[in-house]
Amino acid sequence: MKGQILVTGGTGYIGSHTAVELHNAGYEVILVDNLSNSTIEVVDNVAHLIGKRPHFEQVDCLDYAAMDALFTKYTGIRAVIHFAAFKAVGESVDQPLKYYRNNLISLINLLELMPKHGVKGLVFSSSCTVYGQPDVLPVTEDAPVKHAESPYGNTKQINEEIIYDTVRSGAPIRAILLRYFNPIGAHPSALIGELPNGVPQNLIPYLTQTAIGIRECLNVFGDDYHTPDGSCIRDFINVVDLAKAHVVAIERQLADKQSEPVEVFNVGTGRGLSVLELIQAFERATGVPLNYKIVGRRAGDIEQVWANPDKANKVLGWQAETSIDDTLRSAWNWQLNLRERGIQ
């Protein structure tokens, strides 16, 4: 065993996949989650996948005393991966303070507690949202951070700044900021995946819920963008590939290989796919026809963004491996599994 990794938001979509990959790489995971947007069954399913029950603590990262107690309880924590955050863009516009309180204070608590308990390594979930609409595509890590389109996006930008300022102040912390593009898909076992609350806001859960008949029709938001087919372009990254990027980031920290105290990496495939191309790919990969229609643009959407992942390829030795067809099949199998289990 290579030591313990604390995973906040550990029962969430990306956290649960990362827990499995950390275990596969020889780490002991401690999952922390307040279950505000996930369920305890995720722990059972992770246990099933890794062949043992992971440590799980139902704790809110906003609760400083409870987090302090957790660091005291687990003496072998070598690094923290901080996923716990609210992430619904639209909701953040309606309830900004909820987003600022949750997404900022939880990080601040961690940055105070880590040095207190002698934990140096932090991997932080950031987002390509910090680039806004980039001037140059594919976007590299040194592209300027643009004015945030939503309070959610702003929390990611501010969190990056909080980490930089804390490290600059001399705090004994080494951080890796992973800027995710659009994570999609599910574990190939179909035991863990994305479980949105209520009506999905993101493309893939809405798409698979439409394909299975929960929703009548997928609305494609806009076909008049300056892109080849008029729909928006995104870089869709497989969630297991994304999870593996966290493992290599942890390996780098624990081997003391960081060249800067804060390092930033794009985590994407390097390939842009339009919303309409993604729909075609889904129909091709699964053989399931999809009912969709073009509607007006969605406020706040970026026209097109995809990653230049060269830095992660070279420095972390990481690259996206899963094909879009396999990824879309995994998303579909997850939706079928939810139906079988009577969840959705």
**Which one of 57-65, 76-84, 199-207, 238-246 is the stretch in contact with ligand UD1 (CB under 6 A)?**
199-207
Which whole-number Å values give the CA distances from 262 to 2, 9, 299, in the listed order?
A: 23, 22, 33
**Which one of 26-34, 147-155, 254-262, 329-337 is the stretch in contact with ligand UD1 (CB under 6 A)?**
147-155
In the chain, what is the straight-line distance between the N-terminal and C-terminal CA atoms, in Å? Answer: 37
Nearer to ligand UD1, 87 or 329 (CB): 87
**Among residues 140, 189, 219, 258, the one that binds ligand UD1 under rule CB under 6 A:** 219
Judged by CB under 6 A, does residue 266 bind ligand UD1?
Answer: no
Judged by CB under 6 A, does residue 129 bind ligand UD1?
Answer: yes
According to CB under 6 A, which residues from 27 to 86 bind ligand UD1?
A: none
Task: Please tell me the distance from the alpha carbon of residue 280 to that of residue 141, in angstroms, as a whole number.
Answer: 30
**Which one of 76-84, 99-107, 294-302, 306-314 is the stretch in contact with ligand UD1 (CB under 6 A)?**
294-302
Contacts of 323 (CB under 8 A, 6+ apart): none
Nearer to ligand UD1, 70 or 320 (CB): 320
**Which one of 28-36, 60-68, 244-252, 298-306 is the stretch in contact with ligand UD1 (CB under 6 A)?**
298-306
Judged by CB under 6 A, does residue 301 bind ligand UD1?
Answer: yes
Nearer to ligand UD1, 143 or 173 (CB): 143
Name the pairing type of β-strands 77-82 and 182-184.
unpaired
Judged by CB under 6 A, does residue 95 bind ligand UD1?
Answer: no
Nearer to ligand UD1, 59 or 81 (CB): 81
DSSP lists the bridge partners of residue 265 as 178
Nearer to ligand UD1, 30 or 242 (CB): 242
For the bound state, the minimum distance from the C-beta of residue 131 to ligand UD1, rounded and expressed in Å, comes to 9
Name the pairing type of β-strands 292-295 and 218-221.
parallel
User: Which residues does the annotation mark as catalytic?
Assistant: 152
Q: What is the CA radius of gyration of the chain?
A: 19
Task: Please tell me the distance from the alpha carbon of residue 39 to that of residue 41, in angstroms, as a whole number.
Answer: 5
**Among residues 191, 195, 232, 245, the one that binds ligand UD1 under rule CB under 6 A:** 232
Task: Please tell me the distance from the alpha carbon of residue 50 to that of residue 244, in angstroms, as a whole number.
Answer: 15
**Among residues 189, 201, 319, 337, the one that binds ligand UD1 under rule CB under 6 A:** 201
Task: Please tell me the distance from the alpha carbon of residue 190 to that of residue 20, in angstroms, as a whole number.
Answer: 13
DSSP lists the bridge partners of residue 184 as 238
Quote helix, strand, coil % in the chain, to nearest 5: 40, 15, 40
Judged by CB under 6 A, does residue 202 bind ligand UD1?
Answer: yes
The single-letter code of the amino acid at 31 is: L
Task: Please tell me the distance from the alpha carbon of residue 108 to that of residue 110, in angstroms, as a whole number.
Answer: 5
Question: Residues interacting with ligand UD1, by CB under 6 A?
Answer: 87, 89, 127, 129, 149-150, 153, 182, 201-203, 206, 218-221, 232, 234, 275, 298, 301-302
